[in-house]
Structure 1
Amino acid sequence: MKKYAYIGCLGFIAVITTEFGVIGILPQVAEHYKISIDKAGYLLSAFALIIALTGPFMTLLTSGFDRKKIMLAAISLFLITGFVSSFSPPFWLLMLVRILPAFLQPVYIATALSVAVSQADDRKKNELMGIVFNGVAIAMVTTVPFATWIAGLWSWEYSFMIQTAVSLVALAVIYFLLPPMPVKEKKSYGNQIRILKQPPFILSTLTNFFMITAWFSTYSYFADYLNKAKGMDTSMVSYMLLLFGLIGVAANGVAGKMLNKNVAGTTAIFLSGTIVVPVLLYFSDGNLWATILVIGVWGFLYSPSFLNASTYMISSAPESLEFANSLATSFGNLGVTVGTTIGGWVIVTKGVEYIPWIGLVFGILAFLMMILKVISEKRNQVLSTCQN
């Protein structure tokens, strides 16, 4: 039912606004707290690290609870985060309230996706998942650039007020429009974790990790990169985030339909951006219009990355959708952590203009994992044929 997918999408907008809304204001946060940009980046990387470390376990622990209650609990934590953060608390407290909702973020995503496809046939599942994941692109088009623009107009605290408002709307919609959804049959932990022994799934997990690391080594410092390497001010950066997101909405729709036809091929096409975009950014140099064009390409190829990563992993373990999804979210966020950390280190030691090349290296590693997965699957087919 598309209604459930759109409700999940709205909650996803709140989740992404909170997680990635800080990207556009990191320079202001660093200045306010008198810290370096890489330390300010902890607001993103620490959030992602908690998700990476606890996601699968939290999803397994909550797998027997009513799905509506899980989604309400998760969005409530995101609302509290935005509210407390908007008062510019001490940096340690800002870090603490940033970390708390991260424990339930992968639970929300896995649950929302499960709810979206609960009444769908197999042919429609990827498309419905695409609707939910469109929350990422819509947030990039609306709430994230708007929060950045508001922060530039007044101060960074207002960015968190936007996050609070979005979470409140999502909470109300889930409460009033989503019916109670108790879990009728809880899968055993053993059946779910069995996928961790399957080589194709392990390689698809590594593909996810390297892919997200590649994208976020640069995207985490989007504002700082465009400001220092391309000479754009805060207002112009907010417009670039808007462009990035607008194109991303279309990209998610396209990717959802492409994934219905060919999961591996679609993933490879969009993954190619991790190699193409750094080269294009280099050649665009200081040319404003060329840079804007590259940002458009970047937005198109980057935006479906979480959808592609999740679908690619689930295709290797269709019998464990929620657990596979939580692992996709966890390893994706581990990629966010590693990408953000390495990107921050390169900025401090070499300069912000070098960070796109990190993406190219990790993009090549992701392609290598995809090739190894194909080899592994062919080997399994041969062994299966021989045994029969």
Structure 2
Amino acid sequence: MNLVVNKRIAYIGCLGVLGIISTEFGVIGILPQIAKYYHINIGTAGYLLSLFALTIAVTGPFMVLYVSKFDKKKIMMSALGLFLISNFFSIFSPPFWLLMILRILPTILHPAFFSMAIAAATKDTSAQMQMRLTSIIIGGIALAQVTLIPFTTYIASIYTWQLTYVIQGFIILMTLFIMYKFLPAMPNTEVKSFKNQLSILTRPRFIAGTAVNLFFITAWFCSYSYFADYLSKSKELSAQQISYMLLLFGVMGVISNFLAGRLLGKYMIWTTLFFLTGTFLVPLAFQYTTGSILSVAVVVGFWGIMYGPCFLIGVGHMVSAASDAKEFANSLQTSFGNLGVSLGTATGGWFINYYGISITPWVGTGFGLLTFFMVLCRAWLDRNVHAGKEYS
């Protein structure tokens, strides 16, 4: 495939991820408003995020194995179509149980979108270029955090939280049009057996990479899921100030995601360890913030830098150990990443309910330690592979 076409797929995939992630994580900025509207506590409102992620974790790999035989363009457009339907009906603020169903609906093809986009964009490219193209697609996560998520949070603070779904739906509709117009058909020309793809589940390096992905994302989402509520209640920021903090958080995440995309291909272990230190330093830094918004902004900016590449790092650790089954590996990364989102959100919510919102930044440090241990395991396994002692 021509590199120009690869890059076009990557940038269109990035735009699709922007719409998907603004729907998935955009709820973080409006959780307090939703909790108030439905007269529920913040932990219950958090189920909108945790159950969304948990459903992806459970169903994702099976759906990707099934749809991998179809045209990638059609699957990607179908995934966005489900998100469009979900956003449209959520505008009307249905009963909470129905809002939950609408949230879960697009999870059917959520991992398939990521998997197909990454597989199509990185086809017939070098290992280093694959990581760069992947960073463009995954960069849609950071881009959502610097554009749509803070913007919709700001709009919700002025008007109403329902408008966030209008904005997200418009972006997804626009992406569908661009995808239909400019993305080439991508029929599946190489049918891989389920047995060959499932064989990656027995590889020690892949298992270690999966654990790194799961624990790293869990560590961050113990606190990030309650970003708005923590800054509101613990740091006494207004809704508009929180939207500015989300913007700052996202800007720093875009920058660090770009840098990590260049470094991971060469120094995967060291890059991971560097960003992992944030899970310990961020809560420590918050302990020393004063009542000034400047001190909070400095820590939030640092938080954004250290959090930014967590999904990209997960992709790097898993796909590098399964180069012969990239689509399935990408789907598993999405599934276990969302399992981390669900586990982190549930864990953070439990601690908040029992110990108060001020404990939020510290909850993820335990998972940070688990991640550190698994990174060392992966480094040891990589060294054995290079020494010819293990099948990769």
Q: For the superposition of Structure 1 and Structure 2, which TM-score range results when normalised by the shorter chain?
A: over 0.9
Q: Give the match for residue 348 of structure 1.
A: 353
Deviates most, 235-244 or 314-323: 314-323
State the partner residue of 2:113.
108
Question: Taking structure 2 as the reference length, what is the TM-score of the superposition?
Answer: 0.96
Specify the code of the residue in structure 1 equivalent to 2:345.
T
Q: Which amino acid letter does the alignment assign opposite residue 363 of structure 1?
A: G
Following the alignment from structure 2 to structure 1, what is the Cα–Cα distance between the partners of residues 215 and 362? Answer: 14
| 1:112–1:358 Cα change, 3 Å | same
| Structure 2 CA distance for aligned equivalents of residues 181 and 199 of structure 1 | 32
Q: Which amino acid aligns with 2:348?
A: G
1:270 aligns with 2:275: yes
Q: Supply the AA of the counterpart residue of 1:159.
A: T
Q: Which one-letter code corresponds to 2:79 in the other structure?
A: A
* Secondary structure at the counterpart of residue 355 of structure 1: helix
- Equivalent residue for 1:61? 66
- 2:76 alignment counterpart: 71
1:16 is matched with which residue?
21
Q: Among all aligned residue pairs of Structure 1 and Structure 2, give the percentage whose two residues are the same amino acid.
A: 48
| Cα distance in 2 for residues equivalent to 1:9 and 1:381 | 33
Aligned-pair CA distance for 1:374: 2.5
Q: CA deviation at 1:160?
A: 1.0
Whether the 8 Å contact between 2:127 and 2:265 is mirrored in structure 1 is no
The aligned amino acid for 2:40 is I
Query: How far is the alpha carbon of 1:22 from its aligned partner?
Result: 0.3
What is the match of residue 360 of structure 1? Answer: 365
Structure 1: stretches of 5+ with no match in the other structure: none
Q: Name the aligned partner's letter for residue 316 of structure 1.
A: A
1:190 equivalent to 2:195? Answer yes
**In 2, are the aligned partners of 1:278 and 1:359 still within 8 Å (CA)?**
no
Give the Cα–Cα distance (whole angstroms) in 2 for the partners of residues 156 and 380 of structure 1.
51
Question: 2:77 is matched by which residue type in structure 1?
Answer: L
Shift of 1:288: 2.3
Do the aligned residues in 1 keep the contact of 2:256 with 2:306 (CA within 8 Å)? Answer: yes
1:199 deviates by: 1.3
- 1:273-352 aligned at under 5 Å gives the runs 273-352=278-357
SS in 2 for 1:118: coil
Range that drifts further, 281-290 or 168-177: 281-290
User: 2:383 aligned with 1:384, yes or no?
Assistant: no
Distance 1:169 1:285 in 2: 43
Task: Name the residue aligned to 2:147.
Answer: 142
Whole-angstrom CA distance in 1 between matches of 2:340 and 2:373 = 16
- The question of whether the paired residues in 2 share the 8 Å contact of 1:267 and 1:309 is answered with no
Determine the C-alpha separation between the residues in 2 that align with 1:370 and 1:84: 42
Structure 1 pair 374–122 and aligned structure 2 pair: CA distance change class (3 A): closer
Q: What is the CA deviation profile of residues 309-359 of structure 1, one whole-angstrom value per residue up to 9, with x for unaligned ones?
A: 111111121211111111111111101001000111111111111011111
Given residue 224 of structure 1, which amino acid in structure 2 is its aligned partner?
D
- Structure 2 partner of 1:204: 209
Partner residue of 2:97 out of 67, 71, 92: 92
Alpha-carbon distance change, 379 to 125 in structure 1, aligned in 2, over 3 angstroms: closer
Q: What's the offset of the Cα at 1:378?
A: 4.2
| 1:108-139 residue CA offsets vs partner (Å, 9 max, x unmatched) | 00111111112423331111111111101111
The answer as to whether partners of 1:66 and 1:183 remain within 8 angstroms in 2 is yes
For the Cα contact (< 8 Å) 2:218–2:367, is it kept in 1?
A: yes
Q: Give deviations 1:165-215, integer Å, cap 9, x for gaps.
A: 111111111111101110101111111111111112111111111100000
Check whether the contact 1:4–1:178 (CA below 8 A) recurs between aligned residues: yes
Provide the C-alpha distance between the structure 1 equivalents of 2:234 and 2:187, rounded to a whole number of angstroms: 51
Q: Distance in 2 between matches of 1:88 and 1:238?
A: 22
Describe the shift of the 1:261–1:374 C-alpha distance in structure 2 as closer, same or farther (beyond 3 A).
closer
2:30 aligned with 1:30: no
Q: Tell me the matched-pair count.
A: 386
Deviates more, 1:267-276 or 1:362-371: 267-276
Cα pair 2:60 2:111 within 8 Å, conserved: yes
Normalised to the residue count of structure 1, the TM-score between the two structures is 0.97
3-state DSSP of counterpart to 2:264 = helix
- Equivalences for residues 111-130 of structure 1 within 5 A: 111-130=116-135
Residue 46 of structure 2 is matched in structure 1 by 41
Q: In the alignment, is residue 50 of structure 1 matched against residue 69 of structure 2?
A: no
Of 172, 179, 185, the residue aligned with 2:184 is: 179
TM-superposed deviation, 1:163: 1.1
Distance 1:247 1:378 in 2: 33
Q: Distance in 1 between matches of 2:132 and 2:78?
A: 26
